Amino acid sequence: MRSNKDRRESALLENGWVRIIPLGGLGEIGLNMFVVETADDMVVIDAGLMFPDEEMLGIDLVIPDFSYLLEHRAKLRGLILTHGHEDHTGSLPFLLKELPIPVYGTPLSLGLAAEKIREQNLEADLRQVVPRESFHLGSLQVECMRVCHSIPDGVGVALETPAGLVVHAGDFKFDPTPVDGQLTDYHKFAELGDRGVLVLLSDSTNALRPGFTPSERTVGQALEEIFRTARRRIIVACFASHIHRIQQVLEVAARMGRKVAVHGKSMTTTTRIAADTGYLKVPPGVLVRLDELSSLSPGETVIIATGSQGEPLSAIARMAAGEHKQIEITPGDTVIFSARVIPGNEKSIARTINQLLRRGAEVVTEELAPVHVSGHPCQEELKLMLNLTRPKFFVPIHGEYRHRHHHAKLAAAVGIAPDHICLAENGDILEFTPDKGGVVGTVGGGRVFVDGKGVGDVGDAVLRERQHLARDGMVVVVIGLHPQTRAVVTGPEIISRGFIHLQDQEVLFDAAKRLVNEVLMGCPEEERMETAVLKENVKATLRKYIQKTFDRRPMILPVIIEMEGVTHDKAEFMVPSE
């Protein structure tokens, strides 16, 4: 009798199979990366990053773990970008350092990716795709479909595999009046549905929001009303990648007779690339340099700047704090925050807004006027995508578990069989044949932290130590021992950082020094010879004393130095200053 494993392998060989492996993008909004694998070929969709949350102290970026790709590099045929946002392209330079594979995308997506690749002094094989024109990656036939999003030139991806058609919808919305006139390709998604979609992967970001996402053009109408009534200078804070938003600011400014300066490195770079590739239409004579604004009256000027999330070093934050070298906020200025609040940034945004208001500026957010709309689909659009494609299996992606959970409920409501809906996690191996599908295993993976030039050298243990230091401070105990006799030559000296005030620590630590001395004197000779044992005894004694005396738990670092012929009064200890 054949085992279940034998029967499964026989079915795979007979019917063909495809595996979909999320390496990021499930359980978070960001870090998007999906592997589509067959017996002979492997294709990656997107290579995103995620910005660290407040608990990831000192971390600059978070990227996916590429280990699975490195292990199967012989099968890897290329990577496809759905659009140019950093949560879909940001880890590309890190991947290309390890795997110099071809990268496929639309002109704007490739232009933005190329800039990041050049910044890392890398070269890449970038290949342009045209929506609705198919191409092959190994034995896989690939076709891209136009979708609306908050950045132009976005696409969904369809892959014809031995098991059937796999469709990744990309980040999309069904905007009936897009700024650039490029509708989401309803007809192509319907055509794919008619051909028969085996698996659909679809964006879950707004799965809890009823109705339809408003059109981007509604923001233009709100901006026009604000521009019409603004008395002095207007400053618009938005994401640098939001080309449609920048386009509308330029057009409204041109109609109102105002000049526009673009400020911030990422903003300047993105607008330049978008203009060069034809995705940003700049009205003649509207754009000026920032230093040219001083020759114009405030009522004739607009600044588009970074800082919609209150980032401390952004242009808007520096203006709000009065630390900007060229721009000083004055009473009557209008500052528009034309972006959604990313969870975790509420405090920094509130701080920036408070500072702007104290300086007399008028501040407009989406709570006060419709100055922002999402680039992601709400519930009715999600149901429309499901009905157009009519997949046999469905995998909600791009969101936290709560988003994907509610997206799964929407799928069940439109008729997808509940046992054909896969609520997967990063690292799960989703395997599909024409008749069956589900999780069959996991791959090693997870999040990789980027800290400065270090990639992956900071793990969870280091983060916990950083959190411990930030929360409770540090106590250092320095002891000098004779290398042969292990007699105390000098110390113990106790220094703290982030624990108690420097002026108080000498008196408060007198008792602690006596306790450490008692440990040193009371240690058997064999324990005193073992530095690690001695350190642990000192640490345990101090931990107990500090917890009892101060009800605190600082990090305790014993430092034992071998010192020969040094007297106590000549010993010096180099400890970082506050």
How far is 204 from 400, CA to CA, in rounded Å?
8
Residue tagged active-site, from 168, 376, 406, 420: 376
Q: Which amino acid is at 8?
A: R
CB 211 within 8 A of CB 380: yes
Given the structure tokens 């036939």, which residue do they identify?
Answer: 141
Backbone dihedral angles phi then psi of residue 37, each to the nearest 5 degrees = -125, 135
How far is 475 from 552, CA to CA, in rounded Å?
11
Q: Which amino acid is at 231?
A: R
Strands 42-45 and 76-80: parallel
Strands 447-451 and 61-64: antiparallel
How far is 315 from 284, CA to CA, in rounded Å?
26
Structure tokens at 419: 């046992």
Given the structure tokens 């995103």, which residue do they identify?
Answer: 48
The DSSP line for 370-437 is: -----SS--HHHHHHHHHHH--SEEEEESB-HHHHHHHHHHHHHTT--GGGB----TTEEEEE-SS-E
Calculate the alpha carbon distances from 101 to 24, 43, 44, 349 in Å: 19, 10, 10, 39
Characterize 501-523 residue by residue with b for buried, 16 or more Cβ atoms within 10 angstroms of its Cβ, and e for exposed. eeeebeebbeebbebbeebbeeb
Residue tagged active-site, from 65, 203, 428, 451: 203
Would you call 477 helix, strand, or coil by DSSP?
A: strand
How far is 355 from 328, CA to CA, in rounded Å?
12
How far is 501 from 509, CA to CA, in rounded Å?
12
Q: Which amino acid is at 93?
A: P
End-to-end CA distance of the chain: 73
Closest of 274, 276, 266, 272 to residue 152, by C-alpha: 274
Backbone dihedral angles phi then psi of residue 398, each to the nearest 5 degrees = 55, 70
Q: Please confirm, yes or no, whether 376 is among the known catalytic residues.
A: yes
In sequence order, what are the beta bridge partners of 494? Answer: 477
Closest of 491, 496, 547 to residue 519, by C-alpha: 491
Closest of 49, 53, 101, 67 to residue 344, by C-alpha: 53
The H or E element containing residue 266 is: helix 265-276
Active-site positions? 203, 376
